[in-house]
Structure 1
Amino acid sequence: MILKRVDIKENKGGKDVQSRGLFHFNFIIISLFVLLPLVSFSQTREELEKQRLQLQKEIKEINTLLFKSQKKEKTLLSDLSDLVQRIGVRTKLINTISEETEQLNFEIKENERQVEMLEDRLELLKKDYANMVVQSYKSKTKNSRLMFLLSSESFLQAYKRLEYIKQYAAYRERQGEEILAESIKLKNLNDYLVETRNDKEELLALNQKEKDSISKEKSTQESLVRSVKKKEKKYIAQINKKQKQEKMIDAKIEALIAEAIAKSKKESNLKSSGFALTPEAAALEKDFISNKGKLPSPVERGVIVRRYGKQSHPTLKGITIESNGVFYATEKNANARVIFDGKVLAIQVLPGKKKAVLVQHGNYISVYKNLDNVTVQKGDLVTTKQEIGKIHTDSTTGKTILAFVLFKEIHRQNPEEWVYKN
């Protein structure tokens, strides 16, 4: 932004009041134009800082919840996926820190400009005030205020002279107060400038630390990639087998939901595309929909390790995996919790004696898979955040993973659109 400099010239017979008023007006306008981008910038920096703190928290969670294995051959693919995820988050963190540093650089420059403007303004105010003091002293030595009033030619002129004396005294007092206010403002701005520079130094140090970490992690990643490549066919076969198992489980869940819908229609003799809902169930569904994007996570503490939909495998090129839900890594012995009030529609036994709990919220069904044991039964009424079962921990990888799926009738939904994002 280009700012016009305002020059104030002194009048030998004293300051021109109109000129001073114009100076004050122009300074306010200039200050507003300078501060406007700073307000916008400050909000942006707050958002960046929030994003940086969230990414740092995510890295901490990844380190705690994912890196459980002993780097054995059986866990190489899992270790590599964990590392890829951490590198991805760390890269975002580095980019965020860099952006935040750039914003700080901009803010520092703007602050320096404001300091310079305030120093100039303070200098003008002090000169103006000094001139008034001198003029006032000269006025007192040549002629007293009383004589100034008594020499008036009429009562009206005396009254005007008295008002002038009062206004001049008041203006001089205001100038003194303004000098004090501007001095305090300048000090505060200088203090903030020092604080901002310190923030920048801390960010630069953090950025370098993250770059050093990511450099080491990429070196480890290359080593793991070479190890995985040696048995790539074996890993691809394992992935394909697991995908088939997941599809079979999801097909059974869909069939179970379709059967429950058909049964509810038959019992109520109502024609509906979904469940035949009671007024209470319909109200519950409406409440569920109104909370879209604000529902709590199905785990109290967790990291998303697989998102919803078709996606490339994180480590094996050319391999696409399909995810019908969201997979959360959490801590050992953690419990799955219900995302909203509802009724337990069914409990399904999965391969390996693990279980899945289906909770109905009107025409919406939330599914919690990979539980070792459950603490609810079919038909139970459950409440938001109620724990319903312990999540299974894999003995090989050491990871505790909850698979969370969401349906509207038999149609799958993206759970991330419904669950609140921190």
Structure 2
Amino acid sequence: MGSIVNSLRLITASCILCLPALLSAGKLGSEKNNLRLEKDIHVIQSILNDNRLKANGLEAEITYLEYQVVAAQRIIKLVDREETIGSNEIVRLSDQLRVLKAERTISINQYQSLLLEEYKNRDYRAKLYFLASSKDIKQLVNRLTHLNTLKEFRIKQLKALSNKQKEVEDKLNVYNGSKKQKESIADKKVNEIVRLNELLRTLHQKYKVVESENQSLFVDLQSKEERLNKALNAVRVKHVKSKKGSSAGDISFSWPVSKGLLVGKFGVSKHAKERKVQVLNNGLDVLVSKDEPVHAVQSGLVMAILELPGLNHSVIVNHGGYYSVYSNVSDVLPKVGDKLEKGNPIAKVAQSDQGLSKLHFELWKGVVKLDPEQYLQGTLD
């Protein structure tokens, strides 16, 4: 778990540094400050994400150990009651044990397949360094970590099956054993409960430490996000004023899609599910119909087409110092180096596994992220 999040921390920090080099050689002092703040925010967010994974792992381990304690207590009670059961119950437990062993074998094979798949995809993360949007980085890393999430599920499944298998084996040993063997089993379970309770105390202490660190990080995150939000608003106001005072011959942009619903706006906003977490959006998110075509917002040169197997595309177009970024698209038509006219088709909006088609669009001037809504002409239908 930690390695994936450490990769996220390195990737987000590196891409924040790589993007200015990709888009422009010049850096102003205020832009440097904004980039530094943005880097700090992403690092804190990745540490918080790391801690959430740690907390989730600790919770899972606590649940796993608590089950073992309860199972051991049940076996001790079974020995104390000195119950006897018929052959039919013995057969039922034996059949249950066979089924559990078979399920565990299947789970082991599935887990090994996941490890092989993860090994095959080990080089994909290096390609993320070339992505031009921190938001895309988070989306793509989240999708890469889907494999890791599935792996964690298989591990939990294996632990649960192992627990249940051990409990059934212990029951059979109690029912089939002699009085001396039963007493020995009970003594082992008592010692096991003592050991498990000690482990549980340690895990609960670690969980409290992680939660305490999260509280401190969250306060720091809020402070930095407020400062960055003010800086971004100042840049936006400056560009809006500049645009209003400019001549009619200045560059203008059309919307990348003709129809859709704006579901994500530029700037810092609260996370949709975790309200205590704030999310920085470098552009706009537009929910559209299936296979909605994406068009060039202005004439320009295709600068980059970024692709990861199974993870869709991002297209970057240079408009003479302005840069438009179209992410989560498929069926890309132009190639790197192609010249585009305003309105030329670029791609189609890709569809997620949940059946949703959502375009992420960004607009830059040099190294400055712009609020696309302030520059796009017209409206969405």
TM-score by length of 2: 0.36
- Compare CA radii of gyration and give the structure with the larger one: 1
